[in-house]
Structures are given as structure tokens and as C-alpha cells.
Structure 1
């Protein structure tokens, strides 16, 4: 398996385990996370805090599908989609989840890291 594909698999596992530390370990030293309906989260502290807040609110069970990986020197972009379920922890209501994602990876200290990440729902609001 290619290194970037391994990182995406680890990211999927960390999301499904609600493990903010494992998620942050996959990010670069100066990440930007751009979640839907929220301001961009810039820097490791902001990214960590955002994932911790997300995992206190919802439980994800998602699977990523990769459509393209394009490497350009020390950077690479990856276009994916994800699908699965999201459970709101406050009321235990579960609904389907689906997103389109764009990852930018940076080769840093000998490893590929998530440098920028943007996602948007691929499902119509209900």
C-alpha cells in the first residue's frame, strides 16, 4: 500500500475510534483543517481542539474511497469521498453521512502528513 493511502487508512481508523491524538499525529507541523460550516482551523492546537470537540459531540463510522492521488515533489493532493453514519451522542440518533474531501499532503521529516484538509457534504440537507 502506498504511504499516502496508509495515512488515509489510519485517518479513517482514528476518526472511527474518536481518537483526537491519533488524528493529530497524522497532521503536519502547520496544518489547516477546513470543516464544513465552520471557520478554518489553523495550527496544531486549533486542529486538536476542533477534533476533541467533534468527538465529544458525535461518533463517526465512515469509510473513505480514494479517486485520485497526485504527487508534485514534496506536496500531494488526494481527492476522496467518505460514507457511513454519524451518531449524535446527546440523543443517540444515527443518520447517514457522506462527504467529498480534498487533502493536501506535505512530505515532512521523511513522512507524508496531512497538511490541508477540506470536506463538504455530498448529501442533500434533510
Structure 2
């Protein structure tokens, strides 16, 4: 299970670098997944998640590094607690990095694969 989650993370970061929101969503998220970004309402379902992630990519996201702190499981559910570093180069703006934390809950699918059902993250930067 932990190895499968690490493979999902690698595919996620690769898709972000390639700006492939469709590939990212279909490989990482379950059909009924919920994305819980900071300071926004929850986004339910793959299409909404895809649109939100594409918006981030269009805003200048150039890379993502994920670091796993903890992985655990119970039956058909698993979780991953981690850190992220997001590189952003906004068009016409100054490049920045955002560092934060994440918690993802995965569910084993009928075919034995794992997909995220809840993805929540928040920045470590102070509120402005």
C-alpha cells in the first residue's frame, strides 16, 4: 500500500510539471473525490478538481515536490500525511515558493488500485 501511494505521488508531481490536469486527475483521484484547498469551499468530483488544478497550472505553477511524513492504513482506507513545496512563476510576476502540509485519504478500488478520496492541504505561510 505505501509503495502504491508513493507511485501515485510520483505520477502527481510528474503531471503537475507537464501541466496535465486530466492525466493527474484520472490517475490520482477517485470519481467521488473531494479536494479541500485552503480558504475555499470543498471541490467535489473529478471534473471540478481537474478545473481547479488546471487553474493553478495556468496561474504559473511550475513544479511540485511532495515529502511523505507518515502513511497508514485500516482495511480499504489509507492516509498519507506530508509536506509540499510548490513552485510558482506567475505570468509577469516574481517566482515564489509555497511550503505547506497535506493530508490525503485513499480508498482501495475494486481492481485493487488506490485512489484519493479526500485531499486537503494548507500553506505554512502566515495569513495575509
Q: Settle same-fold status: TM greater than 0.5.
A: yes
- The two structures have a TM-score, normalised by structure 1, of 0.90
Aligned residues: 125
What is the 5 A alignment of 1:77-88?
Answer: 77-88=79-90
How well do the aligned residues superpose, as a CA RMSD in angstroms?
1.6
Q: Is the 8 A contact 1:15 1:23 kept in 2?
A: yes
2:9 equivalent in structure 1: 8
Query: Unaligned regions of 5+ residues in structure 2, if any?
Result: none
Q: Map Cα deviations across residues 48-67 of structure 1 (whole Å, 9 max, x no partner).
A: 11112222212232211101
1:119 equivalent in structure 2: 121
- The two structures have a TM-score, normalised by structure 2, of 0.89
1:35 equivalent in structure 2: 37
Shift of 1:112: 0.5
More strand, by proportion: 1
For the residue of structure 1 that corresponds to 2:121, the secondary structure is strand
Moved over 4 A (4+): none
Query: Unaligned regions of 5+ residues in structure 1, if any?
Result: none
Q: Is the 8 A contact 1:62 1:97 kept in 2?
A: no
2:101 equivalent in structure 1: 100
Q: 1:101, 1:53 → 2: CA distance? A: 19
Q: Map Cα deviations across residues 86-120 of structure 1 (whole Å, 9 max, x no partner).
A: 1113x142012111000001111321111110000
